[in-house]
Structure 1
Amino acid sequence: MTAFLSLKNNYYARRLAPFLIVYLIYELVEVAILAFLQQTGTDWSAAALLRLLGNLLVETCSSFLYLIIPYLLYLAALPRTFHGSRTDHVVTTALFALFCLLNCCEETTEILSRDHFSFYSRQFLQSPKYAWNQIAASIPVLPVLFGILAVSTGTVILFFKKLVPLRTAPSTPVRAAVPILAYAMAFVLSWGSSGPPPPYTGKNEEIGRDGLFTFFGDLFAVTTLPHLPSIFGIPVLITGGIILLILLAEYIPERFMPAACRPSSLARRILRRMKKTLHLRSDFALWLLLFLAAVLLLRLISMGAYPLMDTTEARYAEMARKMLETNHWLVPQFDYGIPFWGKPPLSFWASAVTMKLGGINEWSARLAPFLASLSMGLLFLAWPFRSQSRQKAAACFLVLAASGIGFVASGAVMTDEFLALGIMLAMVSFWKAVTQPSARTWWKYLFFAGLAVGLMSKGPLALVLAGFPITLWTLWNREWKNVWNRLPWMRGTMLMLALSLPWYLLAERETPGFLHYFIVGEHFQRFTVKGWQGDLYGSGHASPPGTIWLYGLTMFLPWTILLPFLRMKKSTAASGKAIFPGESSFLWLWALSPLLFFTLARNILPAYVLPGIPAWCILTVRGLWQWDNRHPGIKNLIFLPASMFAIMAVFLLGNGFGQLEYRCQKQLLQAWDGSSPLYYWDNVRPPYSAQFYSSGKVQRLEPGIPPPENRTTYLAMKRTDYNQYRSHLPGWKREAEERLWLLLSSPPEPGNGKTGKSTHNPDSGN
């Protein structure tokens, strides 16, 4: 750390100065032009100018630090021997060019449109034609694009020789600490700034707008993982709190604590004993297991720390709860007596079973996908690594568990984790059956069992996602005879149908029309019709073609940071026996199959990339180990997520997520007594979380239909409806409120004229 603070060490000054200078110039030019365009009402006094420049500097520094975090993480992950090398210079130049291009485009568009505009915004990606028409209507597109390209190119040429310093990079601990310090400084600057005066009016929303999103290169702002703060919040707070306690105990003066009792001394003794007990040969293997166990334990603990979220989580958990309540297990119920045709029942069965064992709560509902994630992790042990198989399997499990989508999906009530489990079981079993003649017979049948799991979790899509890469691999490598002879296709297909087809036939018999809606609507129209309106249970997720590739990059974070300098080569004698011909192509086809299949799809979600993530994990670990053979120590990059969690801990301990909210009715319903009638005033059905946390007792109150007056009644309304019809609610008391909803209660005395008027018809126009 002293090397970083030393004035003589100009490493980070050389690294960050070009970025900071360019960013500051762009901000100054933008503010100057906006001030010129909005001269009316602008205070040009000396005090106002100084205040403008001061706030501009603070805002620019905080925004710059947030934006530069991915680059600092790249510097932390890059091996020390590569700092200043040709690879480092090429990647740094590419990142700097992208930085200049995007910033120049964004600042120019904001100037010309006089409004905030972000090329990262989800709205721009969802409606590119509308956004482009808005830009083209007020901006001379071709001259502006030419100017942006010229300015960006000139900037890169100007700073080209100053991007990589001549001095040796600091030590690894220093480089790992710098992103944390930068993030903490950015938080302090954003928290302390109230926003500059005109033309930059308004509150400083840097934390709420960027925060964790910009930490990931502003890419999560595109994918909008639902309720990211709640998912990561508790694990990071726990981790950050433990780290702070250890640091405090470590630096207690010696007169209060002997050296033998310090955390560092105790940790060394514990680690030595654990290494001996587990018969591990290296410290790396021990740290790998400890870090994997820590990630899994934190995820397990956090699953009950935040409520079920609308809409997907709460809806699926409520359908599982209805299975337990009604004892109707064949077809999931969207509402009492209304079948749910959108998905097969495997994930609902699993959540219902775990809630039967652990109680009706969010932790038990999320336990089912967590167990599915554990099963996926154990399947890595079955992959035929040629050397250090257990260590590589644990590393693959860590990559999966610590990736963005892996961490979220392992504790989210949805069907995608079970689909990914079925696909992975099928792919691993196929590879063992085809490439290992000595493999046990049951692996050949597990291939078909995996397909059945996919059929029972998300339908025929599983056959496509597994069959597409297998077919291409077989044809490309001319292995069709081997594939045909090694797998029991007739008996295996009968096993797959025996495990899945009876449910499809029984579901169609009990609820006629299911097969047509599920096969045609959910598997064809959903992905080919933009904004598909045939969804019986919601609406399509309209996205432009190709969005799935952006999801693939963001969902696999932080490991996508390693992709620019990971080299995938065939194994050599130094890395073990020769791999089976075609293993790399098989893994790449498996990894890319969801991206290729959903490239043209218009209704997709980020979780659709999950079936290919296990293959990405294996490819990442293979690349690290192969590179480690030539440059020992490279595989320590497997611990890269540790810095991610540390940075989020700094952010969360400062209440950085205070401005971000989640959608759930649990907090609102805590004011409900649990026995009185509960109504939701709305034209649509009550939120799914309200149904779950009221155990199905909530009722929808259509405008114009009064609730009963003979007892205390609770009424939930949106704030907009309450503000419009509050005059018709005399005597109703506010029991609780949150950002969008209010919970009101009426007194139990009948005849007081309160509830009868409370359901004034909004359509009457009064």
Structure 2
Amino acid sequence: GGFGSTVAALCWLTNLGLIEEGRMIEIDAIYVSLFGFAFILWLILWQRGGSPWLTFVVPWIFLGVGMLAKGPAHIMFFYVLICDVLWRNHRLGDLAQPAHVVGVLCTAGIFAAWLIPFLHKLHESPMQVWAQETAIAVYGEKASSTNWWLNFPHGFAYFLPWLLLLPFIRFHKIPDPVQRETVRGLALGSILLFVVVLLIPGTLPRYTLPLIAPFCWIIGVACANNAFEWRLRFKDFTLLVPSRLIAVCIAIGIAAAMVIFPLRSVTYLKRHERMKPVAAKINAVVAPDQRLYAVNLPFLPYLFYVCAPVTYLEKLDELPSDARYFLVPPSYQQKITKTARLAHARPVVWTPTYPPTFRGGESILFVISEF
């Protein structure tokens, strides 16, 4: 209904997870939105009994675009959730539709359009790269494993302030059997994914952000059907909680998120910048009209703030003859001294170890040289 849809939309726009990722300009906000669009679209089309060619093809197009944003991880979330929904409604056979095969091919085709050209340009073995990334995700890295025990508190925080409603939702109060079993399937799948993902040592709480989509659907359906019981029972003890108190807490949480995050960005975070000071050191040496070459470096966010155009190279030998400034990891120092044409290269800027939590906290040495 209109009321439930409005509440679900507000829940999507005002949860702390997406607000935080949007403030950080993280790619998660984009790919989670693409996932959410695909997932909600599938739920709507499936519940309305639409054509299988719409239900099992159109959402898969957005899944494919989401794969371009951040790989195929969200596909696992999608299938676990829809399989739970179909299982609760005794309709797992819907996945055997020919349209589903076409949808999967659309998703794979969109991803392959990027993947195949990328593999042709990749100097390393793709299996080696994927093995390294998988090992980091499964076994963890120094920084993420150290804070692993905080995964669950941080994960729950992403769903605030609407998370306050969950203890009071009663699925049996939803009169429509399809809606009732759908939200039960979504709840089961979401809990399973939330626990499993956060138990992996190398994961971060933001990896659970795709679950915001089913969470918003559950909240919307519960509000549309008034499926709440404002009491908490602990064996023989019953705690009555005024519904207005929860509503006020949610309103305060939304207002705080909308006000505190922007104020924090222009006050505290402005005084504790980590990226811009590093970029400022580089900008002080490299003129905006000069080209800066980054040789075999991982993703470094502060390069976004460098004024000079940045060209990424895989090997030191790829440096053009007219190059004047380049950045390399610390391990390249000895190699530079042994390279004849770089004999006059000299280190100008040494960056601090930044970011300390990236891929185990390698100390990246910036070498900006003139020769």
TM-based fold match above 0.5 = yes
Give deviations 1:16-35, integer Å, cap 9, x for gaps. Answer: xxxxxxxxxxxxxxxxxxxx
Aligned to 1:464: 76
SS of the aligned residue for 1:582 comes to helix
Q: What's 1:601 paired with? A: 200
Q: Residue 717 of structure 1: CA displacement? A: 3.1
Which of these residues, 145, 157, 168, is aligned with residue 566 of structure 1?
A: 168
Match of 2:59 among 437, 447, 470: 447
Distance 1:714 1:518 in 2: 30
Query: In the alignment, residue 527 of structure 1 is paired with which amino acid?
Result: A
Q: Does 1:436 align with 2:48?
A: yes
CA deviation after TM superposition for structure 1 residue 669, in Å: 4.6
Q: Is 1:717 aligned to 2:350, yes or no? A: yes
Determine if contact 1:410/1:417 at 8 Å carries over to the other structure: yes
Specify the alignment match of 1:343 in structure 2.
none
Judge conservation of contact 2:60–2:103 (CA < 8 Å) in 1. Answer: yes
User: Which residue of the other structure, out of 136, 146, 151, is the alignment partner of 1:526?
Assistant: 136
- 1:709-739 Cα deviation digits (max 9, x unpaired): 89xx99323589xxxxxxxxxxxxxxxxxxx
What are the within-5 Å matches in structure 2 for residues 173-212 of structure 1? none
Identify the residue that residue 661 of structure 1 maps to in structure 2: 273
* Post-superposition offset of 1:590: 4.7
Counterpart mapping for 1:319-468 below 5 A: 387=1, 389=2, 391-438=3-50, 441-468=53-80
> Whole-Å Cα distance in 2 between the matches of residues 549 and 592 of structure 1?
12
Q: In structure 1, how many angstroms separate the alpha carbons of the residues matched to 2:30 and 2:270?
A: 33
Q: Does 1:495 align with 2:106?
A: yes
8 Å CA contact 1:400–1:407 kept in 2: the answer is no
Give the partner amino acid of 1:689.
Answer: Y
What corresponds to 2:359 in structure 1? Answer: none
Q: 1:514 to 1:412 in 2, by over 3 A?
A: farther
Give 1:689's match in structure 2, choosing from 294, 302, 320: 302
- In structure 2, how many angstroms separate the alpha carbons of the residues matched to 1:653 and 1:611? 25
Cα distance in 1, alignment partners of residues 284 and 7 from structure 2: 46
Shift in CA distance, 584/686, structure 1 to aligned 2, threshold 3 Å: closer
Q: CA deviation at 1:553?
A: 0.8
2:135 maps to a residue whose letter is: Q
> Offset of 1:543 from its aligned partner?
4.9
Partner of 1:60: none
Q: Which protein has greater RCO, CA pairs closer than 8 Å, 6+ apart?
A: 2
Q: Give the AA of the match of 1:525.
A: A
Shift of 1:555: 1.9
- Asked if 1 retains the 8 angstrom alpha-carbon contact of 2:155 and 2:206, the reply is no
**Per-residue deviation, 1:695:** 1.6
Tell me: CA distance 1:667–1:623, structure 2 relative to 1, closer, same or farther (3 Å): farther
Aligned identity (percent) is 13
The secondary structure found in structure 2 opposite 1:610 is: helix
Q: Find the residue that maps to 1:699 and give its secondary structure.
A: strand
Measured in 1, the distance between the counterparts of 2:121 and 2:81 equals 35
2:190 to 587, 591, 612: 591
Q: Is the 8 A contact 1:504 1:515 kept in 2?
A: no
Q: C-alpha displacement at 1:406, in angstroms?
A: 0.5
What is the distance in 2 between the residues matched to 1:431 and 1:412?
A: 30
Aligned residue number for residue 195 of structure 1: none
Considering only CA atoms, is the larger Rg found in Structure 1 or Structure 2?
1
Post-superposition CA distance 1:219-264 (Å, at most 9, x none): xxxxxxxxxxxxxxxxxxxxxxxxxxxxxxxxxxxxxxxxxxxxxx
For residue 479 of structure 1, report the CA deviation from its aligned partner: 1.7
In 2: Cα distance, 1:456 partner to 1:654 partner: 32
Relative distance call for 1:654 and 1:671 in structure 2 (3 A) is: closer
Q: Which runs of 5+ in 2 are unaligned?
A: 231-241, 312-324, 354-365
Per-residue CA deviation, residues 67-92 of structure 1 (Å, 9 max, x unaligned), is xxxxxxxxxxxxxxxxxxxxxxxxxx
* 1:392 CA displacement: 3.3
Q: How many angstroms apart in 2 are the aligned matches of 1:427 and 1:521? A: 30
Task: Judge conservation of contact 1:541–1:604 (CA < 8 Å) in 2.
Answer: yes
Contact preservation (8 Å) 1:546, 1:598: no
- What is the alpha-carbon distance in structure 1 between the residues aligned to residue 67 and residue 137 of structure 2? 18
So what's the TM-score if we normalise by structure 2?
A: 0.66
Contact 1:686 1:700 (8 Å CA) reproduced = no
The verdict on how the C-alpha distance between 1:445 and 1:541 changes in structure 2, with shifts beyond 3 A counting, is same
Residue correspondence of structure 1 range 62-141 to structure 2 within 5 A: none
Q: CA-atom RMSD, angstroms?
A: 4.7
2:145 partner SS: coil
Change beyond 3 A, Cα 1:460–1:611: same
Shift in Å at residue 405 of structure 1? Answer: 1.7
**2:91 corresponds to which residue?**
479
The Cα offsets for residues 718-766 of structure 1, whole Å up to 9 and x where unpaired, read as 589xxxxxxxxxxxxxxxxxxxxxx9x99xxxxxxxx99xxxxxxxxxx
Change (3 A) 1:640 1:481: same
Give the Cα separation in 2 of the matches to 1:623 and 1:586. 14
- Larger displacement relative to structure 2 (605-614 or 463-472): 463-472
Q: Distance in 2 between matches of 1:449 and 1:553?
A: 30
One-letter amino acid of the counterpart of residue 528, structure 1: V
Matching residue's letter, 1:700: L
Aligned twin of 1:674: 288
Q: What whole-Å deviation, never above 9, does each CA across 1:301-335 have from its counterpart, x for those lacking one?
A: xxxxxxxxxxxxxxxxxxxxxxxxxxxxxxxxxxx
Residue type of the alignment partner of 1:507: F
Contact 1:591 1:614 (8 Å CA) reproduced: no
Matches within 5 A, 1:729-744: none
How many residues align structurally? 324
Counterpart Cα distance in 1 of 2:261 and 2:29: 27
